[in-house]
């Protein structure tokens, strides 16, 4: 997916051993018409050696707004 703009707000982050859960809201602007989608998301990260890797993501569109 390509977005022309992206904003992110983290509302909650918790660590459970070598796994981190990040939850919040984001908004993306989609070309070509500039529609703004506001979403709720959950990202799951896992520590792999000394590198954090994204292992799961869910995003749900809450609303869409026309450009302008």
Q: What is the pLDDT of residue 22?
A: 98
- Measured distance CA(6)–CA(24) in Å, rounded: 14
* Total residues belonging to the chain: 68
- Measured distance CA(8)–CA(25) in Å, rounded: 6
Q: Note the CATH number of domain 5-65.
A: 3.10.450.50
Which stretches within 1-68 are classed as H helix?
Answer: none
pLDDT, tens digit, 9 for 90 and up, residues 31-59? 888 899 999 999 999 999 999 999 999 99
Domain boundaries, the chain: 5-65
Q: What is the pLDDT of residue 1?
A: 63
Q: Which of 59, 61, 55, 64 is nearest to 23 (CA)?
A: 59
């Amino acid at each position: 997916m390509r977005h022309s703009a992206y904003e992110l707000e983290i509302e909650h982050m918790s660590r459970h051993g070598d796994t981190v859960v990040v939850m919040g809201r984001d908004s993306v602007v989609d070309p070509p018409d500039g529609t703004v989608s506001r979403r709720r998301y959950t990202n799951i990260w896992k520590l792999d050696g000394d590198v954090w890797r994204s292992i799961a993501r869910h995003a749900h569109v809450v609303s869409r707004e026309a450009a302008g």
